[in-house]
Amino acid sequence: MKSFQAAFEITQVSNCPFYAQEERFLLTGKAVELPLGRSSCLILVRELTGLLFSLLPHAATDFAEQRDTTFTCGGCTGLVKFRLTDKAVSNSEGNHVDTSAENAESVISGRLEAIAPAELLQVFHMHQKTGRLILEFESGSARVTFQEGGLLAARYEDLDNQEAIYAILHQKEGTFHFIPGPPDALMKTRELGDFMMILMEGLRRIDEGE
């Protein structure tokens, strides 16, 4: 199978603190390669992670149907618009964030230094993913199970479910990998609750120093 690779060029920038017009970046099956010397914007990384899932089925046609599409990253004070390009991208020494996905059934992996747990959980929720998110911290490992973006279960040390999620959100360093497909035993499990309510409660606890 041909390795997944999509190159983009920025066509419009408004008040973005990180990137400039005509800069190019590369999305592969294993990483997001950003322009040399530029910071890794977590909001852009989140957008590109979502694009990875949606573009994978079109790689065989060289993204023919998406060539005229303008993609947007506007989750902060700035705005960036970008499109697929055939121009060469030379970011071999630039910043990158691992995604490790060669196809729809592959493992997605990376480091929490590049994307915070709250952002990471939102990525899988927003794109309605089903599978297990495994996180490795210095203090131990954690597991979060999703079904179509909903939270089915979570475990971290001696904590379960919501309390495990709250503890995971505090972590700033470590690694993660996502394995598609839930365990059969959890297929009929009810969701833990409203995803955004759980996330907001966890962030509130962080703000209050709990």
pLDDT of res. 103: 39
Site of tokens 């001696």: 158
State in Å, rounded, how far the first CA of the chain is from the last one. Answer: 48
Cβ neighbours, 10 Å, residue 111: 13
Site of tokens 């990180």: 18
> CA 156, CA 189: separation in Å to the nearest integer?
19
pLDDT of res. 27: 82
Cβ–Cβ < 8 Å for 31, 99: yes
- The whole-number mean pLDDT for each consecutive block of 10 residues of the chain, a chain of 210 residues, reads 77 86 81 70 75 81 89 80 82 47 51 79 82 86 88 88 90 83 63 85 79
Site of tokens 């603190």: 17
> CA 158, CA 148: separation in Å to the nearest integer?
26
pLDDT of res. 83: 92
pLDDT of res. 165: 92
pLDDT of res. 182: 61
> CA 71, CA 104: separation in Å to the nearest integer?
21
pLDDT of res. 104: 39
Tokens of 19: 């990137």
pLDDT of res. 101: 41
Adjacent-strand bridge partners of 132: 145, 179
Tens digit of each residue's pLDDT (9 = 90 or more) over 108-129: 677 777 778 888 888 888 778 8
Tokens of 178: 């996502």
Alpha-carbon torsion angle 119, 124, 128, 130, nearest 10: -160
pLDDT of res. 28: 77
